[in-house]
């Protein structure tokens, strides 16, 4: 024990350092870093246990700020999402955290609550904390790029259908995904398909509305009723109530997110109508909720894990001076029961 530092002797010597932990555990300081930072190199479980034990016994608390100064990097990324209570964004955040950890970065998450002023504040806040980059899923369909430019920090736009020149962006072809869902409802014989369209603060048109309209036009069908409400469960509930009350009541509804579809299912059940017998439903996102609703939702899945990896890689690339890119990923239709399939 002579060469090791005991908690008692440490008290007289000042803060415990990484070197102390390394000496106590009998490993190099690099190995201590890998354990503390969760990478970038893997550590054998037995070695990790020794290091964790040393950390506990010595009461070591890594000093992230000092480390950031030394490396010129906080090894932290910031993620801003519009609404973390939307299962799509919880899934996305989890995938981003995993992808960031793979590359040795920790993640700081902030939620804008659908509020543009809060989104701007969140970005400034993250930049002030010297994160190495920001991943932004904006509350706007066309994000406010000025705040990112002013913050002068590498960034990637998520949930982004359109190219924003000069910026890295990642998204899916929303119109193509919506077409797939509506064409599937048409294949069940529906000729009056309504749309529960999610809204955001800017009021821009989202590709899902375009895809719904194109699928109907191509099939020679008239547009069914459209209602606009937020991308929330209550938004979907209200949309359902209004669509069911319309003079020209649809026999099928496309909801632009799973979360809206959950609210919509409740409105249809409350109206005493059967799904899919009297009202067929299809939605968008492919979140876990879609699988466990009743009936399970036919939904267009967004490839969240692949997009998260691409986004983190783009961010790291941006900090190395790589040219910005706009990348669009394909969606996939998950056929379950809400559409009328067995």
Which chain residues interact with ligand RIB by CB under 6 A?
82, 86, 88, 159, 198, 231, 257, 259, 284-285
Smallest separation, CB 167 to ligand RIB (Å): 18
How far apart (Å, rounded) are the C-alpha atoms in residues 338 and 277?
Answer: 9
DSSP β-bridge partners for residue 341: none
Whose Cβ is closer to ligand RIB: residue 150's or residue 205's?
205
Whose Cβ is closer to ligand RIB: residue 131's or residue 178's?
178
Give how far Cα 70 sits from Cα of 21, 65, 73, 237, Å: 19, 9, 8, 52
Smallest separation, CB 314 to ligand RIB (Å): 18
Whose Cβ is closer to ligand RIB: residue 231's or residue 254's?
231
Smallest separation, CB 15 to ligand RIB (Å): 44
| Peptide bond preceding 13 in cis form (omega within 30 of 0) | no
Whose Cβ is closer to ligand RIB: residue 104's or residue 303's?
303
Q: How far apart are the first and last CA of the chain?
A: 69
Smallest separation, CB 79 to ligand RIB (Å): 14
Smallest separation, CB 300 to ligand RIB (Å): 9
Whose Cβ is closer to ligand RIB: residue 35's or residue 195's?
195
Indicate the residue whose CB is closest to ligand RIB. 257
CB 144 within 8 A of CB 138: yes
Whose Cβ is closer to ligand RIB: residue 38's or residue 114's?
114
β-pairing, 298-301 vs 332-334, is antiparallel
Smallest separation, CB 215 to ligand RIB (Å): 18
Beta strands in the chain (DSSP E): 76-81, 106-111, 133-137, 155-158, 168-172, 193-199, 226-230, 252-255, 280-285, 298-301, 326-329, 332-334
How many residues can be counted in the chain? 342
Whose Cβ is closer to ligand RIB: residue 24's or residue 88's?
88
β-pairing, 193-199 vs 155-158, is unpaired
How far apart (Å, rounded) are the C-alpha atoms in residues 91 and 226?
Answer: 28
Smallest separation, CB 8 to ligand RIB (Å): 55
| DSSP-based three-state secondary structure for 242 | helix
What sign has the CA pseudo-torsion 92, 94, 100, 106? positive
């Amino acid at each position: 024990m002579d060469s090791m530092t005991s908690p008692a002797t440490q008290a007289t010597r000042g803060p415990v350092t990484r070197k102390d932990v390394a000496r106590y555990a009998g490993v190099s300081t690099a190995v201590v870093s890998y354990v503390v930072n969760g990478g970038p190199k893997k550590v054998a479980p037995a070695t990790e246990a020794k290091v964790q034990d040393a950390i506990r016994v010595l009461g070591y608390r890594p000093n992230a700020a000092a480390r950031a100064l030394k490396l010129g990097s906080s090894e932290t990324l910031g993620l801003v999402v519009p609404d973390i209570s939307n299962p799509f964004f919880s899934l996305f955040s989890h995938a981003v955290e995993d992808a960031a950890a793979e590359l040795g970065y920790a993640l700081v998450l902030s939620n804008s609550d659908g509020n543009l002023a809060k989104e701007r504040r969140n970005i400034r806040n993250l930049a002030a904390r010297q994160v190495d980059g920001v991943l932004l899923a904006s509350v706007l369909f066309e994000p406010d790029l000025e705040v990112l430019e002013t913050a002068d920090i590498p960034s990637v736009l998520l949930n982004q259908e359109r190219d924003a020149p000069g910026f890295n962006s990642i998204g899916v072809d929303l119109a193509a995904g919506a077409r797939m869902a509506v064409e599937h409802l048409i294949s069940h014989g529906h000729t009056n398909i309504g749309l529960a369209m999610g809204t955001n603060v800017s009021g821009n048109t989202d590709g899902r509305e375009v895809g719904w309209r194109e699928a109907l036009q191509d099939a020679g069908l008239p547009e069914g009723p459209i209602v606009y409400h937020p991308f929330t469960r209550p938004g979907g509930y209200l949309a359902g109530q209004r669509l069911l009350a319309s003079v020209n009541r649809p026999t099928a509804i496309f909801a632009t997110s799973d979360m809206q579809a959950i609210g919509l299912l409740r409105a249809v059940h409350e109206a005493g109508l059967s799904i899919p017998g009297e009202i067929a439903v299809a939605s968008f996102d492919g979140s876990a909720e879609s699988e466990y609703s009743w009936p399970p939702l036919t939904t267009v899945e967004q490839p969240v894990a692949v997009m998260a990896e691409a986004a983190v890689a783009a961010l790291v690339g941006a900090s190395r001076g790589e040219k910005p890119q706009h990348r669009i990923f394909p969606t996939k239709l998950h056929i379950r029961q809400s559409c009328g399939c067995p």
